[in-house]
Amino acid sequence: MGLDLQSLRREYLRGGLNLEDLSANPIDQFEVWMEQAVKAEIPDPTAMVLASASPDGQPSQRIVLLKGLDADGFVFYTNRTSRKGRELAANPKVSLHFPWHTLERQVDVCGIAESLSAEESERYFHSRPRESQLSAWASHQSRAVDSRETLMAHVRELEQRFKGQDIPLPEFWGGYRVRPHQMEFWQGGAHRLHDRFEYNLQPDGNWTIDRLEP
């Protein structure tokens, strides 16, 4: 391999992170950082890596978009028959990762994924562009397909099927809320002395905060 990966390095100098800068609740702290990421106009600030695991322990990852945030957790939507959907049904323990490289920040979330109600999923589904609604119906997500033309032919069939009417929520599609019990906020630091703070949920509903060594 011709590329010298060992020599690729840079310093992280955008700023530090101190305990007194942090909110007592990690959701509040995340909202502050998300607002700053949006204002900084970084690409896809809501993109997050979702990691799940199969029943035999094989982890898998993919990028999904954060579509909701409240005091209870992080919301995303997907095909429930996809690989991630099947893994979440068998093992709802997941982690999320927000890689905000240009801000030299990362956020890690560990929690439990819970299915949203059909009513919640339907509200979001019908807020999507009609083309995206058709795509949700057309894709047997994570299954093999012989060609893109086969997929597009299915889309055209669905366009005719639902022509002139509202597109119903597919029974195999819906949302999840990840309820966090641990969150880490990472800010890059000079000489690899990064600032890391980990929140852990306690039985009384409060959160502890620990500084982690880099």
Q: Give binding residues for substrate as ranges.
A: 9-12, 67, 124, 128, 132, 192-194
Q: Distance between alpha carbon 60 and the CA centroid of its chain, in Å?
A: 13
User: Quick check: is 211 catalytic?
Assistant: no
Residue 97 contacts residue 106 (beta carbons within 8 Å): yes
Cα–Cα dist 135/139, whole Å: 6
Q: What is the largest CA-CA distance in the chain?
A: 61
Binding site residue list for FMN:
62-67, 77-78, 83-84, 106, 141-142, 186, 196
Q: Which of 152, 160, 213, 165 is nearest to 186 (CA)?
A: 213
3-state helix/strand/coil string of 138-205:
HCCCCCCCCCHHHHHHHHHHHHHHCCCCCCCCCCCEEEEEEEEEEEEEEECCHHHCCEEEEEEECCCC
Out of 156, 161, 192, 211, pick the active-site residue: 192
| Catalytically active residues, by annotation | 192
